Chains A and B, each alone.
Chain A
């Protein structure tokens, strides 16, 4: 299993155990024989990824941003500083 070593490290890290501790060695032995565990972790990864992709669509709307700076009585210095950086 190509991801088995990574999986084993993550499980040990999760448990807060040293890699060469007895519980971690037992886990390593168990995972060698557990194909489903790898599938499970892969599905968890994909689940998180789906949410991340879906989430990346959410941007702060311009009007909300403008209103924020008015309420805070601050200048939105985003634009001038960006253009001076380019110079």
Chain B
């Protein structure tokens, strides 16, 4: 976030903490899409995403006076949403058996002949059937990998912010991200050929 936007947001948060309903409303407008999207990716369920959205902002309104500004506001808000989402996941049986996630095999990467992927036909990606398969791949990842992938790669948050939200070390964030990306790449190698993306 740019300094100017950050200043504007700090003012908005301060007004909201003093009971300004219009400021609260602006904060909801600012973050509603991102929180809904986070819930959707985390749970792969529109209903759960809606619940996460509502619960997050209800808590935000109730507890905004407790926000001390030690972290950025969005880190604080994301942490609320993430906790609600993870609780929701724990309360339900997993749809898929979680896969085991390993480190990339560096020796194999450097010694086996690798073929490049040409430019994809991204028009195919939005097709429902392919999209469903992509979602399944993400859903099969254990929660501690999926959360990092969603925050770092889909929401484009920094390693530092991701670490704060998930309350893990930056090194741990990097390791989980590397493994998650590698897992998805390996799975996609089969899928892209199967679906005629290349």
Residues of A within 8 A of B174 (CB): 14
Q: Which of B108-123 contact A (CB under 8 A)?
A: 109-117, 120, 122
Interface mask (B17-58 → A, CB under 8 Å = 1, otherwise 0): 000011011101100110011001100001000100110011
Known contacts A65-B32, A74-B24: A47-B58 contact under CB 8 Å? no
Q: Which of B78-134 contact A (CB under 8 A)?
A: 104, 109-117, 120, 122, 125-126, 130-131, 134
Known contacts A48-B153, A48-B181: A57-B110 contact under CB 8 Å? no
Q: How far is the CB of A54 from chain B (nearest CB, A)?
A: 5
Residue B188, interface by CB 8 Å: yes
Q: How far is the CB of A47 from chain B (nearest CB, A)?
A: 4
B110 touches A37 (CB 8 A): yes
A71 touches B58 (CB 8 A): yes
Residue A60, interface by CB 8 Å: yes
Please report the C-alpha to C-alpha distance between residue A71 and residue B185 in the assembled complex, in whole angstroms: 41
A47 touches B184 (CB 8 A): yes
Interface mask (A22-61 → B, CB under 8 Å = 1, otherwise 0): 0000000000001111011011101110111111011111
Residues of A within 8 A of B134 (CB): 50-51, 54
Residue in contact with B131 in the complex, picked from A14, A57, A78, CB distance below 8 Å:
A57
Main secondary structure of the interface of B (DSSP, over half): helix
Known contacts A43-B185, A72-B58, A72-B61: A51-B154 contact under CB 8 Å? yes
A64 touches B36 (CB 8 A): yes
Q: How far is the CB of B7 from chain A (nearest CB, A)?
A: 18
Residues of A within 8 A of B46 (CB): 61
A46 touches B120 (CB 8 A): yes
Please report the C-alpha to C-alpha distance between residue A10 and residue B22 in the assembled complex, in whole angstroms: 43
List the B residue with the shortest CB-CB distance to A56. B126
B29 touches A58 (CB 8 A): no
Q: How far is the CB of B173 from chain A (nearest CB, A)?
A: 11
B154 touches A52 (CB 8 A): yes
Q: How far is the CB of B160 from chain A (nearest CB, A)?
A: 13
**What are the 5 tightest A-B residue pairs by CB atom distance, in nearest-first order?**
A39-B114, A47-B185, A74-B25, A36-B114, A60-B36
12 contacts between A and B (CB under 8 A): A14-B174, A43-B114, A46-B117, A46-B120, A47-B184, A51-B138, A52-B154, A53-B122, A54-B131, A58-B37, A59-B33, A68-B54
